[in-house]
Structure 1
Amino acid sequence: MISQVTLRGLEDADLDVLFEFMRDPESVRMAAFTAEDPNDRGAFDAHMRKIRANPETLNQVILADGVVVGSIASFVMEGDTEITYWVDREVWGQGVAGRAVALLLEQVTVRPLHARVASDNTASMRVLTRAGFKPVGTDVGWAAARKAEIEETILVLS
């Protein structure tokens, strides 16, 4: 059982483990809106360079008992501040995502704050609604991981 969840800034040394998490087939399927090819390390590195260089993006790693188990970030897209997170499947169901979101919400005080989740990803939907996000609509978008258009739920924390 995990006793402590903390966040810290993303470091170069974290990239290898995050890349591995983001290649897990079941995690990729659940996240749905992922890179075209989760196994393309060059594309991953280019994306990480881009988001790390953006001063409007806050990139954090999620630590469970001191071990990196995921990432969480806030970023601005089309004028809206959004959050996103990714948690290693090995710790799913242990409250890590919920605690990480709560910690990020202490740092990111912009409201409204937005999030998007594949509508059939009930676990992430539960994490976000428990944190106070409310569903405000849906959209249909291309989910590279599923090679299909799927519905995503748009949530807002006021």
Structure 2
Amino acid sequence: MKITLRDVAAGDLDEFFRFQQDADAAHMAGFAPTNPNDRSIFDHHWSELLNDEKSLVRTIDADGQPAGSIAVFRDGDVHEVMFWTDKQFWDQGITTTAMDLFLDEFTPRPLRARVVVDNVGSLKILESRGFTEVGEEQVFSNARAEVVTEKILQLN
């Protein structure tokens, strides 16, 4: 399978919205909008992200099909990376390859990521790429309707 990163196309957003509807994926990620079925909230979030000149946003493409997204944005003075892969593409190395491609393209460091402590797959990807834990934070998860612990990881 050929994995590439590309600019987000308008049609990708429909796929990303569909990906967000998967309750298992939202639970694993630990975050979701208060109402994940509200397309206007989704569109507003993506419009802000795509129009922020300090952000870099890519579609993860698997053999010509959108498989997910990966992006970096500024959180205060720190760059933070986030990614989402559709559940049908889990456990195939797609997200790992996408992360490698993204880290080759986006080189400023330090780079942070936040991951719910039980999201073993995402932790494995980040730690195998050199991210190390620099803290933890208790945050409310809409997807889980409870407070969860997020690991804060950093790549220097």
**Under TM normalisation by the shorter chain, which class is it?**
over 0.9
Aligned to 2:87: 89
Question: TM-score, normalization: structure 1?
Answer: 0.96
Question: 1:8-19 alignment to 2 at 5 Å?
Answer: 8-19=6-17
Question: TM-score, normalization: structure 2?
Answer: 0.98
Write out the 4+ residue segments of structure 1 that deviate beyond 4 Å after TM superposition: none
What is the SS of the residue equivalent to 1:72? Answer: strand
How far off its partner does 1:4 sit?
A: 1.3
Q: Distance in 2 between matches of 1:36 and 1:10?
A: 24
Aligned to 1:68: 66
What is the SS of the residue equivalent to 1:73? Answer: strand
Q: Distance in 1 between matches of 2:34 and 2:70?
A: 20
Percent identity of equivalent pairs: 38
Q: Distance in 1 between matches of 2:92 and 2:85?
A: 11
Q: 5+ unaligned residues in a row in structure 1: which ranges? A: none
Q: Distance in 2 between matches of 1:97 and 1:134?
A: 18
Matched, 1:143 2:141: yes
How far off its partner does 1:150 sit?
A: 0.5
What is the SS of the residue equivalent to 2:43? Answer: helix
Q: Distance in 1 between matches of 2:61 and 2:112?
A: 23
Question: 1:1-158 alignment to 2 at 5 Å?
Answer: 3-158=1-156
Give the aligned residue type for 1:108.
F
